[in-house]
Amino acid sequence: MKKLCLLGLVATLATQPVWAETTPVALKDKDAFVSDLLKQMTLDEKIGQLRLISIGPEMPRELIRKEIAAGRIGGTFNSITRPENRPMQDAAMRSRLKIPMFFAYDVIHGHRTIFPISLALASSWDMDAIGRSGRIAAQEAAADSLDITFAPMVDISRDPRWGRTSEGFGEDTYLVSRIAEVMVKAFQGVSAANADSIMASVKHFALYGAVEGGRDYNVVDISPVKMYQDYLPPYHAAIKAGSGGVMVALNSINGVPATANTWLMNDLLRKDWGFKGLAVSDHGAIFELIKHGVAKDGREAAKLAIKAGIDMSMNDSLYGKELPGLLKSGEIEQSDIDNAVREVLGAKYDMGLFKDPYLRIGKAEDDPADTYAESRLHRSEARDIARRSLVLLKNHNNTLPLKKSATIALVGPLAKAPIDMMGSWAAAGKPEQSVTLLDGLNAVIGEKGKIIYARGANITNDKAVVDYLNFLNFDAPEVVDDTRPAQVMIDEAVKVAKDADVVVAAVGESRGMSHESSSRTDLNIPQSQRDLIKALKATGKPLVLVLMNGRPLSILEENQQADAILETWFAGTEGGNAIADVLFGDYNPSGKLPITFPRSVGQIPTYYNHLTIGRPFTPGKPGNYTSQYFDDTTGPLFPFGYGLSYTTFSLSDMALSSTTLNKTGKLDASVTVTNTGKVDGETVVQLYIQDVSGSMIRPIKELKNFQKVMLKAGEERTLHFTITEDDLKFYNTQLKFAAEPGEFNVQIGLDSQDVQQQTFELL
């Protein structure tokens, strides 16, 4: 028996990779293990680990496997099934040191089951729901052999012209920071080394959302205070939550591209924040240093990036080519390369890959027979999470909920749009598996009522826009036009509307309009659809707008035309069912806007927490010589934090436990919230603080806490919020993070404008 065991051990060792043979004990100790492995590596093998390669359909797989076996690739992205990735890991196991590959993908808001886009998830203000979406995404991705995601994307977006607004969690630093933490923990689970976890890599570090004019890839020019106070905290929150990776932004910051920015990558990220993980460049970003104008050629670009601490080169063309020469000439040091390799190996260690390179790939016999099998989806969770993310913006005369016995005219280019329902960055989601609004309404209404459908309009009549969207963003053209003349489509929709009790119009943007490289100069619903809405309004039938879009839209006119408006963003695989649940009142909407809706594009910036000014505009008072635009009403169309319900809520008895707060003390802010309507419902009670006067100007208010509460009809509850000195700290002109004694306003409300206020003094 003993002898057999020994033989077994020898047999195991003989097939073990070199690193496992030589350092079996050190596996317990990450640093020692990584250092030991590093010592065994040649320069070529080291540089190979720094190369992250995109696996496109056109890539010669044979060649890739050869490169991997030669130790020239450290990880890949965009190959997303076990059968695809297994041969690559097999190739890695044939390499001299058998260092495992990792497999990465953009798992942003779901993997196979697509959850609502990030902006919609944020609209739920429901940390449990958001966490569940991230955990399920991780489990599905891990089951498909993925080890790491390029997410969460926590860029603060205060300019809705920016197409990637859809991909982030909105405009508010506090809310986005809370979500950043939740998402990292959801992706990584108990440990990133577990088979059902994936490593997070927070992006885009840093400040990508502050691109000038909301134009993608543009420069970021920002004051240090604004950077520290408003834009950096969400990344920091993700790092503090343990994000194993960071993806570096494409933009420059105050004159230096992030990819070459030693202050950002070394001083701030690694030294100040103590980050000890993997820094990955964005796609082609090292090469772009030439276009930015800070590197004269590829060689200099590679040098700047490795010196700045960019460990891995995404879609590498330069590290592999230039690093050997740079080292030979003494322009970079061995330690520059070693430091980067150490992080790559460390990340692989943390992903559990040295223990088992096939941890997430599994055995071939266990591969799913059908990758796209329905049984692999998490539909009920997706439906539940999606309905929590919908925001009711208007409900005149209780137009909603709809009666299930009604005849409903469903119109609009987004009523039957399975691809758009998924939103952009829809990972491995399949449009065939997403539930459209037409599907969802039909499923709920069954035999009781009737849905009559007409498309009514194309997304846009602007051919140049259609061509752009089809050319740029996705693998196949997906904005497909109905070739009938616009008026014919409108006439058909009007006819259908006249035969119905109520009209539901699904309008807004195609998903590609809110995506990378999809910045817009206006925020209107495209004219083709506005013409449709106008014609529908003219029928006199009650009009419900179901908005689908990835950014705030300016819907001033539509807000006047519609009786009810439901903001649904892009609600994911179960979107149609979730929207139907809300439209028919099977779920009472509870979402709140995580970003301000401007009246017009010209009002931008409209984020709620702007700084105080010397000549503020006061509503109701003459505007002369105050800060405003004289040709439109001042203020947003819908403020941050806004959202209605089928019931009503009221706040009363706001109180502070004291009018003073000691530096080490605590203050209790309480308020009673009452469900004053006839149905049960949930709302988000929000707490804002304003530092009234100090050494520098401060925001008019800042979100500092919130609670989402469920109340039965007629029920009331007293909520308590604790305020400490930490909630009052800010970065001053010396970038010192500290609170200043003095007066503070505390506001509690159901949105950022409708608030009650009390005041206290920090001693």
Rank residues 150 and 688 by Cβ distance to ligand BGC and give the closer one: 150
- Alpha carbon 752 to its chain centroid, in Å, reads 22
Smallest gap from Cβ 112 to ligand BGC, in A, equals: 17
Of 615, 454, 619, residue with least CA distance to 536: 454
- What SS3 class is residue 726? helix
Are 137 and 129 contacting, i.e. CB atoms less than 8 angstroms apart? Answer: no
90: Cβ contacts below 8 Å, ≥ 6 apart: 65
576 is written with which tokens? 């149609």
Smallest gap from Cβ 109 to ligand BGC, in A, equals: 13
Residue 452's DSSP bridge partners are 409
The CA distances from residue 760 to 546, 662, 745, in Å, are 43, 11, 7
Count CA atoms closer than 13 A to 16's CA, side-chain side.
16
Specify burial of residue 720 (Cβ count, 10 A radius: 0-12, 13-18, 19+). Answer: exposed
Smallest gap from Cβ 478 to ligand BGC, in A, equals: 18
Rank residues 67 and 155 by Cβ distance to ligand BGC and give the closer one: 155
DSSP sequence for 53-94: EE--TTS-HHHHHHHHHTT---EEES--SHHHHHHHHHHHHH
Smallest gap from Cβ 425 to ligand BGC, in A, equals: 8
Mind telling me the catalytic residues? 282
559: left (phi over 0), alpha (psi -120 to 50) or beta: alpha
For residue 401, whether the previous peptide bond is cis, meaning omega lies within 30 degrees of 0, is: yes
**Separation between Cα atoms, residue 232 and residue 239, nearest integer Å:** 11
Beta carbons within 10 angstroms of residue 159's beta carbon: 22
**Separation between Cα atoms, residue 379 and residue 443, nearest integer Å:** 15
Residue in this structure with the two tokens 């691109």, named with its chain if needed: 211
Rank residues 132 and 203 by Cβ distance to ligand BGC and give the closer one: 203
Closest chain position to ligand BGC (CB):
150
Rank residues 56 and 602 by Cβ distance to ligand BGC and give the closer one: 56
Q: What are phi and psi of 92, to 5 degrees?
A: -60, -35
**Amino acid letter, 643:** G
What HEC string does 364-418 produce?
HHHCCCCCCCHHHCCHHHHHHHHHHCCEEEEEHHHCCCCCCCCEEEEECCCCCCH
**Separation between Cα atoms, residue 311 and residue 346, nearest integer Å:** 11
- Positive or negative CA dihedral for 218, 219, 221, 226? positive
Rank residues 301 and 564 by Cβ distance to ligand BGC and give the closer one: 301
The CA-CA-CA angle for residues 752, 755, 759, to 5°, reads 115
Smallest gap from Cβ 140 to ligand BGC, in A, equals: 18
Rank residues 101 and 689 by Cβ distance to ligand BGC and give the closer one: 101
Q: What are phi and psi of 302, to 5 degrees?
A: -65, -40
Smallest gap from Cβ 200 to ligand BGC, in A, equals: 12
Smallest gap from Cβ 282 to ligand BGC, in A, equals: 5
Smallest gap from Cβ 466 to ligand BGC, in A, equals: 22
Smallest gap from Cβ 203 to ligand BGC, in A, equals: 6
Rank residues 106 and 140 by Cβ distance to ligand BGC and give the closer one: 106
Which residues are near ligand BGC by CB under 6 A?
106, 150, 203, 282-283, 516
Rank residues 282 and 336 by Cβ distance to ligand BGC and give the closer one: 282
- Alpha carbon 5 to its chain centroid, in Å, reads 51
Residue 757's DSSP bridge partners are 747
649-656 and 660-661 beta bridge pairing? unpaired
**Separation between Cα atoms, residue 629 and residue 588, nearest integer Å:** 37
Smallest gap from Cβ 150 to ligand BGC, in A, equals: 4
Are 591 and 391 contacting, i.e. CB atoms less than 8 angstroms apart? Answer: yes
Rank residues 144 and 574 by Cβ distance to ligand BGC and give the closer one: 144
- Positive or negative CA dihedral for 530, 562, 387, 432? negative
- Alpha carbon 335 to its chain centroid, in Å, reads 35
Rank residues 217 and 617 by Cβ distance to ligand BGC and give the closer one: 217
Specify burial of residue 529 (Cβ count, 10 A radius: 0-12, 13-18, 19+). Answer: buried
Are 578 and 548 contacting, i.e. CB atoms less than 8 angstroms apart? Answer: no
Rank residues 226 and 283 by Cβ distance to ligand BGC and give the closer one: 283
Rank residues 280 and 583 by Cβ distance to ligand BGC and give the closer one: 280
State the DSSP code for 9.
H
Residue 505's DSSP bridge partners are 411, 545
Smallest gap from Cβ 625 to ligand BGC, in A, equals: 44
Smallest gap from Cβ 409 to ligand BGC, in A, equals: 39
Rank residues 172 and 516 by Cβ distance to ligand BGC and give the closer one: 516
Smallest gap from Cβ 163 to ligand BGC, in A, equals: 11
445: left (phi over 0), alpha (psi -120 to 50) or beta: alpha
255: left (phi over 0), alpha (psi -120 to 50) or beta: left
Of 282, 137, 260, residue with least CA distance to 204: 282
Residue 649's DSSP bridge partners are 675
- Alpha carbon 449 to its chain centroid, in Å, reads 38
- Alpha carbon 309 to its chain centroid, in Å, reads 25
